[in-house]
């Protein structure tokens, strides 16, 4: 269920580690402001004073100024203007409510017998539905049962993905056998075939040894296959999608009238503008990209030698590219090659440059199989430097996403505290990594062409 937020009110949170000050600002409380009552978990609605800039008129003025400064394309302007009139805060639907949504998406041709949750992430909820549908089988009247993966889009997903794009990447990748087949797709969600297996992890991408080498080669070949796909136009046109996402998220956060205490809207916009200019001048290649190419959005089909790896949590000892499929494709489309590669290898823990270089060598060997040794060495270095140059953008995009979550979603005090810590950590990591734009950009310029 989505609840409309009155434009004259914002949610005020009082938590152990994160609270919204004066009804507008989310941040860590200071010792002087802490008291016994403030330690309790509560959510209240605080009317915003008409004498302050929090009135609806001022909110409209602020967003209009933002739109002029961002100078975004027409469809983005329409999306951001919509945020003035309606800002949603999502509440967790009841299980019965979700089952009704899942059945509505499946339609009359698939009668759901039972359902279980696969995941409930920030953007979407994903469910495993056992359904009965018409077809050849042993049931009465030729009815068969099968398992389907049903994904319901949330407002955080649809904000960044216009209706004409939803489902297009899934069908394209499925047609090329690098994603699960699509059963049906609507504006509200998508239904896929069920693929038994396990998703990859950050540890898989940085684990040493022969098993990891096999995995690097398989993942590299699969990503090269994805990046070689033509970009469908329509529905895709214009600049890389990452800039559209960030402008849409910043616009929705601005329309909420709330802020976080570790970064102002002006700071966030300035960093987006800086990165956009810097990466444009570097001439980074744009391909048909996944867009959210983290390890957990790659799945290894179950079977063969995968069983022991599933139990141990390590990388499989034998893997081929056809064993891997991409999932969670809402953000797929024209984007930077280096952004996809860096998302695969960005790590909070132990970063393996050796694995990343091995991956890139296989990736380039698949992309340009006729390249000579010296030429391949140069291209491996080029893609490695290019990808590292994108690390700051991967952190900034994540930081802005959590600003959106904090300012537009109604959550429990525990969730708010967790999201605040995650958002602040990603903002700090961006600031730490920001110099990589210049340092790796200079290295890229110095490479032979």
Please give the pLDDT value at position 350: 86
Cβ-contact 117, 126 below 8 angstroms: yes
What is the distance between the alpha carbons of residues 301 and 344, in angstroms, rounded to a whole number? Answer: 19
Cis peptide before 24 (omega within 30 of 0): no
Lowest mean pLDDT among 172-186, 187-201, 285-299, 369-383: 369-383
Band (pLDDT 50/70/90 cuts) for residue 176 is very high
Please give the pLDDT value at position 24: 58
Q: Which residue has the higher pLDDT, 39 or 420?
A: 420
Cis peptide before 423 (omega within 30 of 0): no
Band (pLDDT 50/70/90 cuts) for residue 348 is confident
Q: Which residue has the higher pLDDT, 447 or 13?
A: 447
Band (pLDDT 50/70/90 cuts) for residue 134 is low
What is the distance between the alpha carbons of residues 76 and 90, in angstroms, rounded to a whole number? Answer: 22
Please give the pLDDT value at position 382: 96
Cβ-contact 107, 115 below 8 angstroms: no
Task: Provide the mean pLDDT of the chain.
Answer: 80
Q: Which residue has the higher pLDDT, 345 or 118?
A: 345
- 192 closest CA partner among 231, 152, 233: 152
Band (pLDDT 50/70/90 cuts) for residue 449 is confident
pLDDT in tens, 25-75: 788 654 433 343 333 333 233 333 333 333 334 434 444 444 444 443 343
pTM of the model: 0.77
Structure token digits, residue 93: 């639907």
| Helices 373-389 and 337-345: angle between axes, nearest 10 degrees | 80
Structure token digits, residue 41: 């978990």
pLDDT in tens, 359-409: 999 999 987 766 666 789 999 999 999 999 999 999 999 999 999 999 999
Cβ-contact 335, 241 below 8 angstroms: yes
pLDDT in tens, 398-414: 999 999 999 999 889 99
Cis peptide before 362 (omega within 30 of 0): no
- Asked if pLDDT for residue 148 goes beyond 80, the answer is yes
Lowest mean pLDDT among 36-40, 129-133, 180-184, 436-440: 36-40
Kindly state the average pLDDT of the residues 132-144.
58
Other residues' Cβ atoms within 10 Å of the Cβ of residue 302: 14
Kindly state the average pLDDT of the residues 336-347.
98
Q: Residue 187: what are its φ and ψ, rounded to 5°?
A: -65, -25
pLDDT in tens, 218-251: 999 999 999 999 999 999 988 999 999 999 999 9
Structure token digits, residue 150: 């049903």
């Amino acid at each position: 269920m989505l609840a409309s937020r009155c434009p004259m009110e914002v949610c005020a949170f009082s938590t152990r580690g994160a609270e919204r000050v004066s009804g507008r600002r989310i941040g860590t409380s200071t010792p002087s402001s802490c008291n016994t009552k403030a330690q309790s978990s509560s959510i209240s609605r605080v009317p915003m004073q008409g004498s302050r800039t929090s009135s609806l008129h001022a909110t409209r003025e602020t967003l209009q100024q933002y739109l002029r400064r961002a100078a975004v394309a027409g469809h983005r302007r329409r999306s951001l203007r919509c945020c003035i009139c309606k800002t949603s805060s999502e509440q967790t639907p009841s299980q019965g409510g979700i089952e009704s949504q899942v059945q509505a998406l499946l339609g009359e041709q698939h009668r759901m017998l039972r359902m279980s949750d696969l995941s409930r992430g920030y953007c979407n909820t994903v469910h495993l539905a056992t359904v009965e549908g018409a077809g050849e089988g042993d049931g009465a009247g030729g009815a068969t049962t099968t398992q389907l993966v049903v994904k319901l889009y949330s407002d955080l997903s649809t904000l960044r993905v216009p209706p004409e794009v939803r489902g297009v990447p899934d069908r394209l990748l499925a047609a090329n056998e690098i994603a699960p087949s699509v059963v049906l797709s609507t504006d509200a969600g998508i239904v896929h075939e069920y693929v038994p297996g396990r998703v990859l992890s950050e540890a898989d991408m940085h684990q040493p040894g022969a098993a990891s080498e096999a995995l690097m080669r398989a993942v590299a070949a699969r990503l090269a296959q994805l990046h070689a796909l033509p970009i469908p136009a329509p529905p895709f046109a214009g600049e890389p999608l990452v800039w559209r996402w960030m402008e849409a998220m910043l616009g929705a956060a601005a329309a909420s009238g709330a802020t976080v205490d570790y970064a102002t809207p002006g700071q966030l916009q300035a960093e987006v503008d800086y990165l956009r200019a810097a990466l444009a001048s570097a001439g980074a290649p744009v391909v048909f990209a996944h867009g959210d190419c983290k390890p957990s959005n790659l799945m290894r089909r179950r079977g063969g030698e995968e069983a022991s790896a599933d139990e141990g949590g390590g990388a499989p000892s034998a893997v081929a590219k056809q064993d891997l499929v991409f999932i969670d494709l809402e953000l797929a489309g024209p984007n930077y090659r280096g952004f996809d590669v860096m998302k695969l290898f960005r790590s909070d823990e132990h970063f393996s440059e050796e694995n990343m270089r091995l991956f890139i060598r296989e990736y380039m060997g698949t992309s340009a199989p006729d390249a000579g040794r010296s030429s391949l060495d140069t291209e491996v270095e080029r893609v490695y430097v290019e990808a590292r140059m994108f690390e700051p953008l991967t952190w900034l995009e994540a930081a802005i996403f959590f600003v959106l979550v904090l300012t537009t979603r109604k959550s429990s005090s525990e969730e708010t505290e967790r999201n605040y810590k995650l958002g602040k950590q990603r903002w700090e990591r961006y600031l730490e990594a920001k110099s990589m734009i210049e340092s790796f950009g200079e290295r890229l310029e110095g490479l032979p062409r």
